[in-house]
Amino acid sequence: MSYGEWAAEWWKWLLVSEDADTYLQKDPVLFLRGAFDYETANGQRRPKRKLHKDRTGNEKIEISEGTAIFFPVIEAEFNEEDPDPDDGGVLITTEAEMRYFARRDIDEGGEMGATIKKGNETPTKIVKDLKDYRAESPLFKLVVSDKSPLKDYLEVAQKAGTFDAVTDGYWILVRSLPPSEVPYQIHFEAEGRHGYYNSGTYDITVKPKPPSRVEDKSDILVTGNSLGPK
């Protein structure tokens, strides 16, 4: 799959679950996210400043060796239920409009960065130049569950249903990390258009791959963070 296709899967994961942060050891991909919370002030909906997703210390995540990690440093998503940002009385209706607004949000963003360290080591950049990791999704079907708590905290409160959507942004895929007794720490942050801010810090412990065993998974949908049937 391309980065753009993984970006679409990330958005499907974000809004399809009652608890998007649930991770099971059988999941081959761990999706990470920043914090979401918008507020209405003076009749306008604006992001609360400097929100941060903190999954460190006791909130750390344990994965198995060979598990990939995928996340956006900054992203923008638009779908057919979103109002036109330049004319809130009109809904977006075409793929071209979705792509235009998603690209504009990313084009007009600010500084960004993503680092990783192990234990007390000095953080280093995950990739040399984030500008090489911009990706845009194909048109995809965004399924929003009525049980998703995050749908009410987006820039536009999202109703439940299935919608055509696109996303654009800077995305990182860590194919795998070696096993370690001390946690790795991944940190990312970025400034978006109109005061939007995305950041997160995750402690991730990587355990050795368990002994292999034969298991029939032919009828199980396996994607990131437990998207399959439970």
Which tens digit of pLDDT belongs to each residue from 207-220?
998 676 655 555 54
Whether residue 80 is contained in a domain is answered as: yes
Task: Report residue 34 as tokens.
Answer: 């920043």
Asked whether the predicted pLDDT for residue 178 surpasses 50, the reply is yes
Question: What one-character-per-residue DSSP string does 139-169 give?
Answer: PEEEEE-TT-SGGGSSSSPPPSEEEEEEEEE
Whether residue 225 is contained in a domain is answered as: no
Whether residue 229 is contained in a domain is answered as: no
Which range, 46-60, 123-137, 145-159, has the best average confidence (pLDDT)?
Answer: 123-137
Degrees to nearest 5, angle at CA 83 with 78 and 85? 80
Residues 6 or more apart whose Cβ sits within 8 Å of residue 216: none
Asked whether the beta carbons of 188 and 34 are under 8 A apart, the reply is yes
78, containing H or E segment: strand 68-79
Whether residue 217 is contained in a domain is answered as: no
In the DSSP assignment, the letter for residue 20 is: T
Long-range Cβ contacts of 47-51 (<8 Å, 24+ apart): 47/155, 47/195, 47/196, 47/197, 49/195, 49/197, 50/197, 50/199, 51/197, 51/199
Q: What is the band of 221 on the pLDDT scale with cuts at 50, 70, 90?
A: very low
Degrees to nearest 5, angle at CA 63 with 137 and 128? 50
Q: Which of 26, 55, 16, 57 is nearest to 151 (CA)?
A: 16
Confidence at residue 193, expressed as pLDDT on a 0 to 100 scale: 84
Confidence at residue 21, expressed as pLDDT on a 0 to 100 scale: 85
The 10s digit of each residue's pLDDT in 50-100 is 679 999 999 999 999 999 999 999 999 999 989 998 987 899 999 999 999
In the DSSP assignment, the letter for residue 123 is: P
pTM, two decimal places? 0.86
Whether residue 230 is contained in a domain is answered as: no
Domains of the chain: total? 1
Confidence at residue 80, expressed as pLDDT on a 0 to 100 scale: 92
Whether residue 224 is contained in a domain is answered as: no
Confidence at residue 161, expressed as pLDDT on a 0 to 100 scale: 95
Confidence at residue 194, expressed as pLDDT on a 0 to 100 scale: 77
State what percent of residues in the chain have pLDDT above 70: 85
The 10s digit of each residue's pLDDT in 103-128 is 999 999 999 999 999 999 999 999 99
Q: What is the rounded distance in angstroms from the CA atom of residue 30 to the CA atom of residue 69?
A: 5
Whether residue 102 is contained in a domain is answered as: yes
Q: Under the phi-then-psi rule, with left for phi > 0, alpha for psi from -120 to 50, and beta for the rest, what region is 69?
A: beta
Which range, 18-22, 46-50, 205-209, has the best average confidence (pLDDT)?
Answer: 205-209
Whether residue 69 is contained in a domain is answered as: yes
With tokens 């007009």, the residue in question is 108
Confidence at residue 220, expressed as pLDDT on a 0 to 100 scale: 46
Confidence at residue 217, expressed as pLDDT on a 0 to 100 scale: 55
* Domain range enclosing 131: 3-207
Task: Report residue 26 as tokens.
Answer: 């059988």
